[in-house]
A = this chain, B = another copy of it.
Amino acid sequence: MHEIRVAVRWRDMDAYGHVNNAVYLNYLEECRDAWVDGVLGPVAESTWDFVLARVAIDFRTELTQADGEVLVRCRLDSFGQASIRVREEIVTAGGAISAEAESVIVPRDPTTGRSRPLTDEERAALEAELSSEEA
């Protein structure tokens, strides 16, 4: 699992006075990108070749400027031939779950721009990550 802190900015708020729904995806990507760099960086040609294919996010509790900062967590759920599924959450400093999400990342061939299968090295790194999570 990877966890980061994200400071809530004034610009994250919308006219409701709470963090705009789209900004949650930016909080998630801060954590997910760091997780991808950590797990796949050592074995993939470039982590720029992993792109987001799907996000499903449930908004649980609104966030406001008063929250100050949030914790964002990301962990590997599973992976297939050509996709990686991660589970993510955004938690307030007080421990309230603000959002839960499931995202799918796919490796992309930089020359064709199309998705490609995970390499053996990438699969081994993901296998190791799954094992370490269960430990």
Copies of this chain per assembly: 4
Given A56-B55, A58-B54, CB of A65 within 8 Å of CB of B22 = no
Count of chain A residues with a beta carbon within 8 Å of a chain B beta carbon: 31
Would you call B58 and A57 a contact (CB within 8 A)? no
Q: Does A14 contact B (CB under 8 A)?
A: yes
One digit per residue, 1 when the CB lies within 8 angstroms of any chain B CB and 0 when it does not, for chain A 4-40 equals 0011011101111100111111100110010000000
Would you call B29 and A25 a contact (CB within 8 A)? no
Chain B residues contacting A14 (CB-CB under 8 Å) are 10-11, 13-15
8 smallest A-B Cβ distances: which pairs?
Answer: A22-B25, A56-B56, A13-B15, A22-B22, A11-B26, A15-B17, A22-B26, A54-B58
